[in-house]
Amino acid sequence: MALETNQRQRVVIIGAGFAGLKIARSLNNTDYEVFLIDRHNYHQFQPLMYQVATARLEPSSISFPLRKVFQHTRNVNIRIADVERVDTAQKIVYTSVGEVPYDRLVIALGCTTNYFGNTRLQSNSFPMKSVPNAMALRNRILQTFEDTIEAGPDELQSLLNFVIVGGGPTGVELAGAMAEMKKNILPKDYPDVDFSRFTIYLLEGSPNTLNAMSEASKIKSRKYLESLGVIVRTGTVVEDYDGNTVRLKNGDTILAKNLIWAAGVVANTLEGLPAEAITRGNRLKTNRFGEVEGLEGVYAIGDIAYMPTPKYPNGHPQLANVAIAQATHLAQNFKRELKGKARVEFEYANKGSMATVGKRKAVVDLPGFSFQGVFAWLTWMFVHLMLILSVKNKLIIFLNWMMSYFANDSTLRLMLKADRGEGSSGKIDIPSAKGQGSLKG
């Protein structure tokens, strides 16, 4: 059933990631009628997802119910649904809960994990792009440690080998967190297991870890990782993984029961968009007002948008800061149009980038200079706390971090798995390692 329209212009936003949520909040209590559509009923804070996977934070700490965010709005409507396709001629979004007509469509679908066409690797590895992914990985990590207790000598080393593919911020932060688990937690939880054999490999295809950051940050991040005992291999490409053996392009192999894939992203797809509007990485070509090339009233922002500018001729980096800035700018242009004012072209002001490797170990690049160490670590914590939506969640995360800092431990190592329900055999399903669908917000 189609939703009724009224005289106000309707802005339909697909995806409640950083970009989608930001523009919806920016248009809150304006004269636009806003519909925010996502398959999840929450916004997820991806930069801290690795801490959920390593049992440092609960998923509720980094997840924010959309209806709670918009409790006091008068013009933002939430729809929890899968988007099936769009009809840009009729200006209708077809969803699993019905048709949603629009005057302006904002596509903020973000990205999903890119396996570069390797379906076997996709089937056997663990991604890190959503809260369910992080929970599945946490269960797998903890279950692996349980399995080491009874493992035979032939199987033990492959259980104790964890391979992380991708030396960007996600891979670096996850490797550092697991190295700290090895040092501070596992010997206390499993006194009968020799965790000196627990080996964390970080494999990166480019010449450096954090290859997009400054030279100082590249060098320091690798030094930090290696000081924690992580085996870092740069210039290394994974060719295949069958669930037991990691095969590298140079012919080497690593026996490992667990491979975590953080090596690239590709934009989510949306049926109904013309092929000529789509470019490399499935991104949508836009002008500097965010309008998708060749489509009237259709905009793209965030990771899915490819917006060449003189400063960024190959499009902007797929970062949260860019997504938030594009969403803020598009909302401002929408408000200008309500007042009859001219639109302004988008220009991104780089605010810098950062990554943490472990306790008192982080790297920060700001425009014009970079720094590393304890102050960088404190800066990283402060910035991430400020980006968290609610005061309650800020406090919960801060308290967890402080307890972890002083105790070198956490109390969140719970395996929470989906039960098959009454009348079943009593077995428990481990969540799938496979990637999410193509319309994740």
Predicted confidence (pLDDT) per residue in 330-363, tens digit:
999 999 999 999 999 999 999 899 999 999 999 9
* Alpha-carbon Rg for the chain in angstroms: 23
Q: Residue 348's CB: how many other CB atoms inside 10 A?
A: 17
Q: Which CATH architecture has domain 119-263+352-416?
A: 3-Layer(bba) Sandwich (3.50)
Per-residue pLDDT of 292-317, as tens digits, reads 999 999 999 999 999 999 999 999 99
Confidence of residue 431 (pLDDT cuts 50, 70, 90): very low
Is residue 436 over pLDDT 70? Answer: no
pLDDT value of position 407: 81
Residues of the chain above pLDDT 70, percent: 93
CATH for 10-113+266-338 is: 3.50.50.60
Confidence of residue 270 (pLDDT cuts 50, 70, 90): very high
Is residue 424 over pLDDT 50? Answer: no
Q: 10-113+266-338 with 119-263+352-416: one CATH topology? A: yes
Per-residue pLDDT of 209-264, as tens digits, reads 999 999 999 999 999 999 999 999 999 999 999 999 999 999 999 999 999 999 98
Residue type, 349: A
Is residue 410 over pLDDT 60? Answer: yes
Per-residue pLDDT of 29-59, as tens digits, reads 999 999 999 999 999 999 999 999 999 999 9
pLDDT value of position 411: 65
The mean pLDDT of the chain is 91
**Gap between the Cα atoms of 221 and 126, Å rounded:** 23
User: How far does Cα 277 stand from its chain's mean position?
Assistant: 25
Residue type, 362: A
**Gap between the Cα atoms of 226 and 203, Å rounded:** 13
Q: Residue 124's CB: how many other CB atoms inside 10 A?
A: 20
Confidence of residue 425 (pLDDT cuts 50, 70, 90): very low
pLDDT value of position 179: 96
Per-residue pLDDT of 156-209, as tens digits, reads 999 999 999 999 999 999 999 999 999 999 988 888 888 889 999 999 999 999
**Residue 6 has which token pair?**
């009224």
Is residue 66 over pLDDT 50? Answer: yes
Does this model's pTM top 0.75? My answer is yes
Q: Where are the domains of the chain?
A: 10-113+266-338, 119-263+352-416
Angle, helices 169-184/215-227, rounded to nearest 10 degrees:
20
pLDDT value of position 408: 79
199-204 and 161-165 strand pairing? parallel
